[in-house]
Copies of this chain bind each other. A is one copy, B any other.
Amino acid sequence: MSIRDYIESLDERSRQVLFAVIESYIHKPEPVGSRFVTKKYPIGFSPATIRNIMSDLEEAGLLAQPHTSAGRVPTDKGYRYYVDALLNPAGGVSKDSYAGTMQDFARRLDTMKNDLAVMFHEVTDTLSRMSNYVGVALPPKAAKTTFHRIDLMKYRDGNVVAILLTDEGLIRNKIIKIDPELTQDDLNRIADYLNSENRGRTIDEMTLMLVALMQDEKALWDSMISRAIEVCKQTFNFNEGDLYVSGLYDAMDLPDFSDIGKIRQLSRAIKDKHTILRLLDEFAEAEGVNVIIGRENTSSELQNLSIVAASCRESGRPMGVIALIGPTRMDYSKAIFMVDMVARQISRTFDEHR
C-alpha cells in the first residue's frame, strides 16, 4: 500500500474527525469529546454520528480513550497518519506569519556561515525560540569534512596548540603533546607541509594517507613527515559529540512537561547525548523533513517525545542535521514547517556564496 493509498484509506469524514481531534488536542491537551467536535469544526453531523466515527477510529488504533467516559486522544499512530498527510501534499503549508522572522534569520545566517559553531548555536536558538520546543543541531562529522588548513603554535609547557580549519566552517583547536624541542619554525614547516599537500582532502582521506605513509620506511626517516603524522594523529582524534541544544528551559513550560518525571526523561535524553547523536546521524543523508513519533523511537528515553529533523546540504553534501524535539503532542504542522524552512535556508546560504 503506497503512502497515498494509506492516507486515502480513511474516508473523508473520518479524516476530518481525526484531524479535528488532533488539532484540538494539540491546541489544548484535553480529551476531545464528540459534542466539542461538532461545535468547533463544521463537519455537519450530530454528536452521535461523530461518536460512531470516533469509535471506528479508536478501533483502527488512531484514537484512544484515557478512560471509559472521557473524550478521545490521539495515539502515536494517529499522529503518524496526520504527519504523513501533512508531509505528503508537497508541504504546501506556507505560513506567511514567519516571513519577517525568516528574512531576518537569513540575514544573520549569512554573517555566521563561516563559523559552524556560531551558526549552529544561533540556529538552535532560533528554532527553539520560534517553536518553544527543544532545538538541536548536529554539525557534519569532523572526519567527513574537508581539510582546509592547519596551524601549529607553541604554547605552555612545550605543548602545541593545533588549529584545524575545514572547508565547511568547522574550527577546532586542540592541545597536543609533541617533541618539546621543536621550535616555532619547525612547527611552521610541519604545518606548511600538511597545508600544501592536503588541501581539498577529507579528514578521513588524510587519515588513510597517513596509514599508508606510516608503512613507508623512507618517509619515517624523514623526521618532518613523521612529526606531521604525529600531529595529525593527535589533532584528528576528536571526541565527536558537539551537539548543540537550546530551549530546554522554555520547553519545561509546556503543559506536557508539567509532571516532573517527563522533564527528567527529556533532560536525561539530552544529557547523555549518545542517543540523540546516533538518531540525528541517521538523518544526515535523508531527504526532506523526517518525523519520529513517540514509541516509534527505538530508544526508550525518547518514547514520549517526537523529533522533527532535516539535514542541511551544501551542493548535495551533508552539512549537519537540525531538529526539534518536543512532546508527542507537538504542533507538527508548525514544527515541520520551521525545520524545513530553516534547513532550506541554511542550505541556500551555503550554496549561494560558492
What residues of chain A have their CB less than 8 Å away from a CB belonging to chain B?
114-115, 118, 148-149, 151, 153-157, 159, 161, 163, 165, 167, 169, 171, 173, 175, 248-249, 252-253, 257-260, 263-264, 267-268, 270-271, 353
The residue from B154, B156, B259, B264 contacting A169, defined by CB atoms under 8 A apart: B156
A203 to chain B, nearest CB (A): 17
Q: In the docked arrangement, what's the CA distance between A117 and B156, Å?
A: 15
The residue of chain B having its C-beta at the shortest distance from the C-beta of A271 within the complex is B249
Nearest residue in B to A267 (C-beta to C-beta)?
A: B249
Query: Does B248 lie within 8 Å of A252, measured CB to CB?
Result: no
- Bound-state Cα–Cα, A353 to B271, Å: 34
A155 with B253: CB separation less than 8 A: no
How many copies of the polypeptide does the oligomer hold? 2
Chain B residues with CB under 8 Å of A169's CB are 156
Given A252-B264, A260-B260, A263-B263, A114-B171 contact (CB < 8 Å):
no
Q: Out of B151, B157, B173, B252, which one reaches A263, CB within 8 Å?
A: B252
Contacts of A149 in B (CB 8 A): 153-155
Q: A259's closest neighbor in chain B, by CB? A: B260
Chain B residue nearest in CB terms to A149: B153
Q: Is the CB of B148 within 8 A of A155?
A: yes
Partner of A165, one of B114, B153, B268: B153
Contact with A163, one of B153, B156, B259, B271 (Cβ below 8 angstroms): B153
Q: Using CB atoms, name the residue of chain B closest to A171.
A: B173
- With contacts A155-B148, A264-B253 taken as known, whether A171 is within 8 angstroms of B165 at the C-beta atoms is no
Quick check: A153 and B151 within 8 Å, CB to CB? yes
Question: Contacts of A165 on B, CB cut-off 8 Å?
Answer: 153, 155, 161
Residues of B within 8 A of A153 (CB): 149, 151, 163, 165
Q: Would you give the shortest CB distance from A234 to chain B, in whole angstroms?
A: 13
State the CA gap A353–B156 with chains docked (Å).
10
Q: Tell me, rounded to whole Å, the shortest Cβ–Cβ distance linking A251 to chain B.
A: 10
Nearest CB in chain B: distance from A6 CB, A = 39
Chain B residues positioned under 8 Å from A270 (CB to CB)? 249
In the bound complex, CA of A263 to CA of B263 (Å): 10
* Chain B residue at minimum C-beta to C-beta distance from A172: B173
Complexed CA–CA distance, A259 and B252 (Å): 12
